[in-house]
């Protein structure tokens, strides 16, 4: 499993790095990474994480289409603002999803960390949706979620994946800065 985990980690790093740069190649590379990690998480009995990889595959298809429709002249996706009210609604949906998924995983499976895994899964879906919709706020949520994931993966002895998520935090900071700069340039150009 260590080699599979390493391949998944490298694909994931590449996909997130491309996303931070607002590059379209992030989508097919991301699809490969979620397929690899789906298998890894099933073996580790992190069922919510495995389900999350399936959801990510659907979101990748959705995001790929959304981004293709919103490319700037330089071939990179344009960043879009996120209204506070809409953000609050999405976060509330994340809380509800976490409670529902945690209840199911706790009651009906032998999931290792049913509640924590469910919370991280729900908010990862919110972050992915925001990313698909081109919102800079996605990077803030990814930073929080990924920091918690590091602890979960250390606990589950998925050390390569824990290191991967530490890299994700650094890439999310890079993505946040790059997307904020793109948003400022876009606002200045339209003003």
Distance of alpha carbon 184 from alpha carbon 189, whole angstroms: 9
Distance of alpha carbon 171 from alpha carbon 167, whole angstroms: 6
pTM of the model: 0.89
Place 154 in a pLDDT band, splitting at 50, 70 and 90: very high
What integer pLDDT is reported at residue 122 of this predicted model?
Answer: 94
CB contact burial 129-154 (16+ within 10 A = b; e otherwise) = bbbbbbbbbbbbbbbebbeebbebbe
What integer pLDDT is reported at residue 118 of this predicted model?
Answer: 93
Q: Of 66, 67, 65, 129, which is closest to residue 97 (Cα–Cα)? A: 129
pLDDT tens digits along 79-112: 999 999 999 999 999 999 999 999 999 999 888 8
What integer pLDDT is reported at residue 152 of this predicted model?
Answer: 93
Tokens of 23: 């590059």
Are the beta carbons of 4 and 161 closer than 8 angstroms? no
Place 30 in a pLDDT band, splitting at 50, 70 and 90: very high
Tokens of 107: 């009651």
Place 15 in a pLDDT band, splitting at 50, 70 and 90: very high
Average pLDDT over residues 118-144: 96
Tokens of 99: 């409670």
Residue 168: CB atoms within 10 Å: 24
What DSSP designation does 113 have? Answer: S
All residues at 6 or more sequence positions from 1 whose CB lies less than 8 Å from its CB, including other chains: 40, 43
Where exactly are the structural domains of the chain? 2-70+84-190
Residue 170 backbone phi and psi in degrees, to 5: -65, -40
Calculate the alpha carbon distances from 178 to 22, 64, 96, 103 in Å.
9, 19, 31, 38
């Amino acid at each position: 499993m260590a080699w599979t985990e390493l391949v998944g980690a490298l694909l994931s790093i590449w996909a997130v790095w491309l996303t931070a740069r607002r590059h379209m190649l992030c989508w097919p590379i991301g699809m490969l990474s979620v397929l690899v990690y789906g298998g890894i998480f099933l073996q580790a009995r992190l069922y919510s994480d495995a389900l999350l990889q399936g959801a990510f595959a659907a979101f990748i298809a959705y995001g790929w289409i959304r981004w293709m429709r919103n490319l700037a002249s330089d071939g990179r996706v344009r960043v879009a603002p996120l209204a506070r009210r809409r953000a609050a609604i999405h976060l509330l949906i994340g809380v509800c999803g976490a409670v529902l998924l945690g209840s199911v995983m706790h009651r009906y499976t032998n999931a290792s960390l049913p509640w924590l895994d469910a919370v991280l899964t729900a908010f990862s879906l919110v972050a992915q949706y925001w990313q698909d919709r081109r919102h800079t706020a996605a990077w803030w949520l990814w930073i929080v979620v990924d920091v918690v994931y590091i602890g979960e993966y250390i606990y589950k002895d998925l050390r390569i994946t824990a290191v991967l998520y530490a890299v994700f935090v650094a890439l999310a900071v890079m993505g946040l800065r790059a997307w904020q700069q793109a948003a400022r340039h876009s606002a200045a150009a339209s003003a």
